[in-house]
């Protein structure tokens, strides 16, 4: 099982006494050359007067953008602690039993505009950068990461079920190869018999599913049907219903998690 998550927009800085970033210590070392280039470009851009405009963030986030300039020396912490948005609050990846944590480290990957892909135990500083950015010196980040992520993840995706909880912006950086067992997780809200796509609550629900997948007993799901069966254990508590769409000719199957 390979669970793909987007990063949270907001990030919690590590304590000031924490050690700084060690790029060579991150998982997926094949991505190090691209990480170096993206990091250098982000540091340079973040020092510019128009940094917020270039990075596509509001002036209210200027302090976070300015923090990018010091990323190489900034204190770093485990990704499960730095990523602290709604999805990660529900997933609880920084408060797992040893067995569940081992499963999370093995199975969960965070797709990142700056790092490419991380495990939950990779140690990184807080930063501000979106995959939708056209970064000067690099270009559109989704395109820049597509080839390197393919090299790093294609073999894993061919063997394991891919549970895709990413947003469209982060899916653009890499999709599993044709024929890979790939399921896209969608969240719908049902009110008075009508269903609609939700956004904020979708993050929470995907986090709940992630927590369930790394903490439940038994074998990891190996295909879409087994994933749907595993998710059905949440019906009556976190979910109203679980529905698995028929397999398309190509691309991901869709697992709909229905909430009320």
Task: Compute how many other C-beta atoms are within 10 angstroms of the C-beta atom of residue 169.
Answer: 16
Q: Write down the pLDDT at residue 158.
A: 87
Q: Write down the pLDDT at residue 197.
A: 82
In the numeric block, the tokens 């060579």 are attached to: 24
Instruction: Indicate whether this model's pTM tops 0.85.
Output: yes
Q: What are phi and psi of 205, to 5 degrees?
A: -65, -40
The parts of the chain modelled with pLDDT lower than 70 are none
Q: Write down the pLDDT at residue 199.
A: 74
What burial letters (b/e) apply to 50-66, b meaning 16+ CB within 10 Å? Answer: ebbebbebeeebeebbe
Residue from 87, 54, 113 nearest 208 by CA:
87
- H/E stretch holding 210: helix 200-215
Q: At what angle do helices 32-46 and 141-159 cross, to 10 degrees?
A: 150
Q: Write down the pLDDT at residue 201.
A: 87
Q: Write down the pLDDT at residue 172.
A: 97
Indicate the Cα dihedral angle 7, 12, 18, 21, nearest 10°.
30
> 3 near 206, Cβ under 8 Å?
no
């Amino acid at each position: 099982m390979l669970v793909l998550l987007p990063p949270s927009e907001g990030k919690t800085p590590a304590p000031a006494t924490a050690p700084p970033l060690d790029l060579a210590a991150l998982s997926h070392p094949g991505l190090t050359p691209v990480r170096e280039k993206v990091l250098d470009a982000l540091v340079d851009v973040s020092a510019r007067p128009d940094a917020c405009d270039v990075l596509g963030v509001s002036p209210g986030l200027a302090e976070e953008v300015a923090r990018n300039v010091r990323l190489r020396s900034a204190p770093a912490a485990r990704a499960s602690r730095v990523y602290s948005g709604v999805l990660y609050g529900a997933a609880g990846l920084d408060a797992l039993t040893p067995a569940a944590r081992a499963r999370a480290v093995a199975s969960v990957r965070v797709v990142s505009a700056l790092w490419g892909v991380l495990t939950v135990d990779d140690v990184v500083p807080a930063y501000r950068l979106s995959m939708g950015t056209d970064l000067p010196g690099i270009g559109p980040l989704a395109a820049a990461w597509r080839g390197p992520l393919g090299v790093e993840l294609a073999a894993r995706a061919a063997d394991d079920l891919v549970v895709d909880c990413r947003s469209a912006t982060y899916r653009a950086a890499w999709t599993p190869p044709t024929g890979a067992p790939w399921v896209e997780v969608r969240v719908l809200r049902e009110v008075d018999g009508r269903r609609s796509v939700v956004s904020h609550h979708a993050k929470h629900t995907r986090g709940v599913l992630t927590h369930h997948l790394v903490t439940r007993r038994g074998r990891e799901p190996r295909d879409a049907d087994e994933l749907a069966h595993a998710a059905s254990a949440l019906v009556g508590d976190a979910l109203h219903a679980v529905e698995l769409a028929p397999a398309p000719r190509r691309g991901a199957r869709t697992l709909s998690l229905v909430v009320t």
